Amino acid sequence: MRISSLLTLTSALLMAPTAVSAAGRLGFTLGPQRPDGSCKEQRDFEEDFDAIKAQSGSTLVRSFSSSDCNIAQTILPAAKAKDFQVMLAVWPDTEESFQKDKQALQKYATEEFAKQLYGVIVGSEVFYRGNFTGEQLLDKINDIKRILPKGVKCGPADTWNKLADGTADAVIRGGADLFLVNGFAYWQAQPITNASATYFYDMASAIAHIQTVAGGPDKTPEIFGGETGWPSKGGTNYGPAEASDENAATYFSQSVCGMLTWGVNLFYFSAMDEPGKPDSVGENGQSANEKHWGAMTADRKAKYDLSCK
Ligand SMILES: *[C@@H]1O[C@H](CO)[C@@H](O)[C@H](O)[C@H]1NC(C)=O
Ligand SMILES: *[C@@H]1O[C@H](CO)[C@@H](O)[C@H](O)[C@H]1NC(C)=O
């Protein structure tokens, strides 16, 4: 690992005085469906939360929508019952999906759940896909921000390179108060031996740029690693990035626990295997199996040590 050299390079930028000794907060991405594809209900989320907390100590999850499977309605009461916090999301890509998620938030993200709703992500990798300019997404973020209970943060999730190269600057200057930075050494076709160096480089690049545009660490909005992870056995290899249980465990302990030690909050993709998830097509044009990215199996058993101890 090259943590110490990167730490020297960027520690002045990264560490606000208040955050010197704090370890980052770990969260997990969580899907709205049971392994059989049916929609989770409140009690399913409660069981998810029990397993996540028991295995990792985490009390934070994020979703990719607010309306899929009626997730805002079911997950917020579950979070209240189990003392969890949640980030919900809005899919702004079409007017229809934007309105569906917005209406779900208006209906269910009420003051009653203001403590459970940590934030709302507006847009997942829209800059990576080239769908919006910074100004266009900022309008959507401000639209959602207006309907949220006071104190609930709001901002975009995008790939590290798009948050580092200026594409998102209008959103940073516009005052979004939450940024999620996605970084996958796996999708950068890195061998596991260079995976944590790559993840640290990705995160440091995005964080440094956001801090610079925001005008310094004390003016910087809250930043989380939005998604990172590594597939275990059964997943697809991506060039030199090989899916295996051993590599997934190594990635978790070196890259995920390492980044938390560095003081950065992050979400691991994903909490559990999703057997119903369709294959995706990678940048190499080949179909990739996305069913085996869970830190836990579909029946909620940890695949490796998730305690970061
Ligand atoms: C977003 O971008 C992708 C890739 O360029 C494109 O296929 C898709 O149609 C776009 N969606 C919208 C809503 O513009
Ligand atoms: C390892 O990762 C670093 C950071 O992303 C990169 O600059 C370097 O080229 C990588 N090394 C190899 C051998 O791919």
The Cα–Cα gap between 20 and 15 comes to 6
* C-alpha dihedral (59, 55, 68, 62), degrees to nearest 10: 40
Least distant ligand from the CA of 6: 2
- Containing H/E element for 4? helix 3-14
Tokens of 55: 């295995």
Inter-CA distances, 19 with 6, 27, 91, 263, Å: 17, 18, 32, 7
d(CA 191, ligand 2 centre) in Å: 9
Within 6 A (CB) of ligand 1 lie: 93-94, 129-131
Task: Give pLDDT, residue 278.
Answer: 77
So where are the chain's domains? Answer: 3-288
d(CA 179, ligand 1 centre) in Å: 22
CB-based contact 176:141 (threshold 8 Å): yes
d(CA 102, ligand 2 centre) in Å: 41
Residues of the chain with pLDDT under 50: 1-21
Task: Give pLDDT, residue 309.
Answer: 87
Which ligand 1 atom sits closest to the C-alpha of 94? 13
d(CA 131, ligand 1 centre) in Å: 6
**Is 227 among the residues known to form the active site?**
yes
Task: Give pLDDT, residue 289.
Answer: 78
Pocket test of ligand 1: the residue of 131, 132, 140, 158 to mutate, having most ligand atoms within 8 Å of its CB, is 131
Pocket test of ligand 1: the residue of 90, 93, 140 to mutate, having most ligand atoms within 8 Å of its CB, is 93
**Helix, strand, coil % in the chain, rounded to nearest 5:** 40, 20, 40
CB-based contact 137:171 (threshold 8 Å): yes
130: left (phi over 0), alpha (psi -120 to 50) or beta: left
What value does the CA radius of gyration of the chain take, rounded to a whole number of Å? 18
Q: What is the pTM of this model?
A: 0.92
CATH for the stretch 3-288: 3.20.20.80
Least distant ligand from the CA of 200: 2
Which is catalytic among the residues 125, 222, 242, 290? 125
d(CA 155, ligand 2 centre) in Å: 30
Determine the 3-state secondary structure of 279 from DSSP. Answer: coil
Which ligand 1 atom sits closest to the C-alpha of 126? 1
**Is 125 among the residues known to form the active site?**
yes
